[in-house]
Structure 1
Amino acid sequence: MAKLLFKLGKWAGSNSKKVLALFMLSIVVLGGIAINMGMSFNGGTSMPGTESKEAMEILSKEFSSGESLGEVHIVFKAGENESLDSEKNSSAIKELLDVIKQDDTVKSVETPAELGNINPEKQIGYAIVTYDTVADNVTEESKKLVEDNLDITRNSGMETGLAGSVEFEKTQAGGGPGEIAGVIIAYVILAITFASFLIAGMPILTALIGLGIGILLILIGTNYFDISSVSLTLAGMLGLAVGIDYALFIFSRFKQQLKKGYSVKDSVAIANGTAGNAVVFAGITVIIALIGLSVVKIPFITTMGLATAVVVLLSIIVAIIVVPAILGLVGHRIHPEKSNSFLRKITRANTKTNSNKWGKFVTRHPFLVAIVGITTLVTLAIPFFHLNLGLPNNGDKPYEFAEREGYDLLAEGYGEGFHSTLVVIADPLNINDTTEDNIEQLSKKISELDDVKTVTPAMPNQASDKFIMNVTPENGPTDPETKEIVKEIRELSDEHSIKVMVTGSTAVNIDVTAQIMDALPNFAMFIVVFAFVLMMVVFRSILVPLKAVLGFVLSIAATLGFTVLVVQDGNLIDIFGFPGTSAVLFLLPVLCIGILFGLAMDYEVFLVSRMREEYIYTKNAKQAVLTGMKENGAVITAAGLIMIAVFSGFIFSHDPTIKQMGLGLAFGVLFDAFVVRMAIVPAVMTMMGSAAWYIPKWLDRILPNFDIEGETIMKEFSQNEYKERNVS
Structure 2
Amino acid sequence: MGTSGSAVAFAALTVIIAMVGLSVVGIPFLTAMGLAGAGGVAVAALVALTLLPALLGFAGERLRPKPKKAAVNGDQAASDDHGVRGGHGGQAQPKQTLGARWVRVVTRVPALTVVLVAAGLLVVAWPARDLQLALPDNGSAAKSTTQRETYDTITTEFGPGLNGPLLLLMDTGGAKASSAQELTGQLNTVRQDLSTIEGVALASAAQQLNPDYAMLTVVPTTSSGDEATSDLVKALRDKESSIRSGTGISYQITGQTAVNVDVSQKLSDSLLTFATVVVGLCLLILLVVFRSLVVPVKATVGFLLSVAASFGAVVAVFQWGWAADFIGVTKTGPVVSFLPIILMAVLFGLTMDYEVFVVSSIHEEYAHSGDARRAVLRGSPLAFRVVTAAALIMVAVFAGFVTMEDAIVKPIAFALAFGVLVDAFLIRMTFVPAVLMWVGQGGWWLPRWLQKVLPNVDIEGRDLPKPELATQP
Shared fold (TM-score, shorter chain, > 0.5): yes
Equivalent in the alignment of 1:402: 146
Q: CA deviation at 1:522?
A: 0.8
Q: Distance in 1 between matches of 2:23 and 2:385?
A: 35
Q: CA deviation at 1:448?
A: 1.6
Structure 1 379/428 Cα, relative in aligned 2: closer, same or farther at 3 Å? Answer: farther
Q: CA deviation at 1:515?
A: 0.4
Q: Distance in 2 between matches of 1:415 and 1:451?
A: 12
SS in 1 for 2:465: helix
Structure 1 442/431 Cα, relative in aligned 2: closer, same or farther at 3 Å? Answer: closer
Q: CA deviation at 1:435?
A: 4.2
Q: Is residue 471 of structure 1 aligned with residue 218 of structure 2?
A: yes
Q: Distance in 1 between matches of 2:297 and 2:99?
A: 30
Equivalent in the alignment of 1:33: none
SS in 2 for 1:454: strand
Tell me if the contact between 1:494 and 1:500 (Cα under 8 Å) persists in the aligned partners: no
Q: Distance in 1 between matches of 2:216 and 2:432?
A: 58
Tell me if the contact between 1:489 and 1:500 (Cα under 8 Å) persists in the aligned partners: no
Aligned positions of 1:203-222 closer than 5 A: none
Structure 1 653/697 Cα, relative in aligned 2: closer, same or farther at 3 Å? Answer: same
Q: Distance in 2 between matches of 1:698 and 1:353?
A: 41
Tell me if the contact between 2:141 and 2:148 (Cα under 8 Å) persists in the aligned partners: yes
Structure 1 432/370 Cα, relative in aligned 2: closer, same or farther at 3 Å? Answer: same
Residue in structure 2 matching 1:302, options 24, 31, 43: 31
Q: Distance in 1 between matches of 2:57 and 2:328?
A: 44
Larger deviation, residues 327-336 vs 390-399: 327-336
Tell me if the contact between 2:17 and 2:282 (Cα under 8 Å) persists in the aligned partners: no
Q: Is residue 685 of structure 1 aligned with residue 415 of structure 2?
A: no
Q: Give the AA of the match of 1:323.
A: L
Q: Distance in 1 between matches of 2:430 and 2:296?
A: 16
Residue in structure 2 matching 1:392, options 129, 132, 136: 136
Equivalent in the alignment of 1:323: 52
Q: Distance in 1 between matches of 2:315 and 2:136?
A: 14
Equivalent in the alignment of 2:201: 453
Q: CA deviation at 1:363?
A: 1.0
Q: Distance in 2 between matches of 1:321 and 1:649?
A: 31
Q: Distance in 1 between matches of 2:66 and 2:398?
A: 31
SS in 1 for 2:408: helix
Q: Distance in 2 between matches of 1:462 and 1:362?
A: 73
Residue in structure 1 matching 2:65, options 327, 335, 359: 335
Tell me if the contact between 2:195 and 2:203 (Cα under 8 Å) persists in the aligned partners: yes
Structure 1 636/334 Cα, relative in aligned 2: closer, same or farther at 3 Å? Answer: farther
Give per-residue Cα distances to partners, 1:341-369, cap 9 Å, x unaligned. Answer: xxxxxxxxxx8661612101111121221
Equivalent in the alignment of 1:666: 417
Q: Is residue 627 of structure 1 aligned with residue 368 of structure 2?
A: no
Q: CA deviation at 1:699?
A: 0.8
Residue in structure 2 matching 1:485, options 225, 232, 243: 232
Structure 1 408/710 Cα, relative in aligned 2: closer, same or farther at 3 Å? Answer: farther
Tell me if the contact between 1:418 and 1:472 (Cα under 8 Å) persists in the aligned partners: yes
Q: Is residue 284 of structure 1 aligned with residue 32 of structure 2?
A: no
Q: Distance in 1 between matches of 2:252 and 2:230?
A: 14
Residue in structure 1 matching 2:448, options 697, 722, 726: 697
Tell me if the contact between 2:167 and 2:218 (Cα under 8 Å) persists in the aligned partners: yes
Q: Distance in 2 between matches of 1:709 and 1:613?
A: 5
Structure 1 382/612 Cα, relative in aligned 2: closer, same or farther at 3 Å? Answer: same
Q: Distance in 2 between matches of 1:352 and 1:521?
A: 44
Q: Give the AA of the match of 2:202.
A: T
Tell me if the contact between 1:363 and 1:622 (Cα under 8 Å) persists in the aligned partners: no
Residue in structure 2 matching 1:716, options 450, 454, 465: 465
Q: Give the AA of the match of 2:225.
A: T
Higher RCO (CA < 8 A, seq sep 6+): 2
Q: Give the AA of the match of 2:227.
A: P
SS in 1 for 2:252: strand
Equivalent in the alignment of 1:361: 105
Equivalent in the alignment of 1:96: none
Equivalent in the alignment of 1:275: 4
Give per-residue Cα distances to partners, 1:411-464, cap 9 Å, x unaligned. Answer: 22222112111101222462333644442232112212222211111111221x
Give per-residue Cα distances to partners, 1:46-83, cap 9 Å, x unaligned. Answer: xxxxxxxxxxxxxxxxxxxxxxxxxxxxxxxxxxxxxx
Q: Give the AA of the match of 1:536.
A: L
Structure 1 353/598 Cα, relative in aligned 2: closer, same or farther at 3 Å? Answer: closer
Residue in structure 1 matching 2:166, options 411, 416, 422: 422
Q: CA deviation at 1:370?
A: 1.1
Q: Distance in 2 between matches of 1:635 and 1:537?
A: 23
Q: Distance in 1 between matches of 2:306 and 2:99?
A: 27
Q: Distance in 1 between matches of 2:184 and 2:200?
A: 22
Unaligned runs of 5+ in 1: 1-271, 339-350
Tell me if the contact between 1:541 and 1:692 (Cα under 8 Å) persists in the aligned partners: yes
Equivalent in the alignment of 1:604: 355
SS in 1 for 2:142: coil
Equivalent in the alignment of 1:73: none
Tell me if the contact between 1:296 and 1:516 (Cα under 8 Å) persists in the aligned partners: yes
Structure 1 662/584 Cα, relative in aligned 2: closer, same or farther at 3 Å? Answer: same
Q: Give the AA of the match of 1:564.
A: V
Residue in structure 2 matching 1:442, options 176, 181, 190: 190
SS in 1 for 2:210: coil
RMSD over aligned Cα atoms: 2.3
Q: Distance in 1 between matches of 2:324 and 2:65?
A: 45
Q: Is residue 506 of structure 1 aligned with residue 257 of structure 2?
A: yes
Give per-residue Cα distances to partners, 1:509-555, cap 9 Å, x unaligned. Answer: 10001000011111111122223211111111112211111111121
Q: Distance in 1 between matches of 2:6 and 2:451?
A: 22
Q: Distance in 2 between matches of 1:431 and 1:627?
A: 79
Q: CA deviation at 1:673?
A: 1.2
SS in 1 for 2:257: helix
Q: Give the AA of the match of 1:380.
A: V
Q: Is residue 535 of structure 1 aligned with residue 286 of structure 2?
A: yes
Q: Give the AA of the match of 1:393.
A: D
Q: Distance in 1 between matches of 2:101 and 2:461?
A: 28
Structure 1 326/412 Cα, relative in aligned 2: closer, same or farther at 3 Å? Answer: farther
- Percent identity, please: 40
Task: Give the count of matched residue pairs.
Answer: 436
Equivalent in the alignment of 1:220: none
Q: Distance in 1 between matches of 2:56 and 2:317?
A: 43
Give per-residue Cα distances to partners, 1:548-606, cap 9 Å, x unaligned. Answer: 11111121122122222222222221222221213211211111111111111111111
Q: Distance in 2 between matches of 1:530 and 1:403?
A: 44
Structure 1 329/405 Cα, relative in aligned 2: closer, same or farther at 3 Å? Answer: farther
Q: Give the AA of the match of 1:638.
A: A
Q: Give the AA of the match of 1:533.
A: L
Q: Distance in 1 between matches of 2:146 and 2:51?
A: 45
Unaligned runs of 5+ in 2: 69-94
Q: Distance in 1 between matches of 2:342 and 2:358?
A: 24
After TM superposition, the score normalised by the length of structure 2 is: 0.86
Q: Distance in 1 between matches of 2:274 and 2:409?
A: 23
Q: Distance in 1 between matches of 2:403 and 2:349?
A: 24
